[in-house]
């Protein structure tokens, strides 16, 4: 009785609504997929991340990150934020790095401690991105500043593995150095 009421009934109404009109069902599925696409394109998406360049913040394999597409094209991105962007030299690849310079900033061109202390200014509409794992990261030290238009979103949380879920805060804080000590 309950089975008939809660399962067969809705099924039958679904069948009368879509069963006789496969075309209408097709359209409805397509519209739903398009709605989901708009959400993942302009809202939020969970993407897997891989690679050693962001150790120890993210693991080499198995991390899934929540990415906010509201920050696409570098909107509202600040220094210290982790962003996901399209690779400059390998189209189609998606990369995750930390923003360490915004337009107008002066940044260290090479790895700290490499002997070179040359600074360059980040040009308009660009940003300077560096991986957390300096020896194993291909980043702005090799390919220079990247256009902000390549940024697809900002990483706001780590969701998988579930035990290690956490919000990604901006770790880069000004240092308080008291002159007396």
CB of 50 to another protein, least distance (A): 19
CB of 125 to another protein, least distance (A): 4
Residues near another protein (CB under 8 A):
30-31, 34-35, 37-38, 41, 73-74, 86-92, 123-126, 146-151
d(CA 136, CA 80) in angstroms, rounded, equals 19
Q: Which two structure tokens, joined as six digits, stand for 18?
A: 């879509």
158 is catalytic: no
CA atoms within 13 A on the CB side of 62: 6
Q: Which is nearer to another protein, 57 or 129 (CB)?
A: 129
Q: Which is nearer to another protein, 80 or 125 (CB)?
A: 125
50 is catalytic: no
Q: Which is nearer to another protein, 98 or 152 (CB)?
A: 152
Strand runs labelled E in the chain = 44-49, 63-68, 82-86, 94-101, 106-108, 119-121, 126-130, 146-147, 151-160, 166-167
CB of 151 to another protein, least distance (A): 8
Catalytic residues: 53, 97
């Amino acid at each position: 009785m309950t089975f008939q009421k809660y399962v067969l009934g809705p099924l039958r109404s679904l069948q009368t609504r879509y069963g006789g009109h496969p075309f209408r069902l097709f359209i409805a599925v397509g519209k739903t997929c398009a709605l989901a696409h708009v959400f993942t394109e302009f809202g939020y998406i969970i993407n897997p991340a891989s690679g050693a360049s962001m150790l120890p913040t993210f693991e080499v394999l198995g991390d899934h990150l929540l990415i906010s597409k509201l920050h696409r094209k570098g909107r509202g991105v600040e220094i210290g934020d982790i962003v996901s962007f399209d690779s400059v030299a390998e189209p189609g690849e998606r990369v995750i790095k930390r923003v360490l310079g915004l337009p107008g900033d002066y940044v260290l061109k090479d790895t700290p401690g490499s002997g070179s202390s040359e600074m360059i200014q980040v040009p308009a509409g660009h940003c300077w991105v560096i991986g957390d794992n300096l020896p194993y990261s291909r980043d702005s030290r090799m390919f220079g500043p990247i256009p902000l238009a390549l940024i697809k979103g900002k990483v706001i949380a780590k969701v998988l593995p579930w035990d290690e879920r956490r919000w990604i805060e901006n770790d880069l804080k000004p240092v308080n150095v008291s002159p007396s000590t």
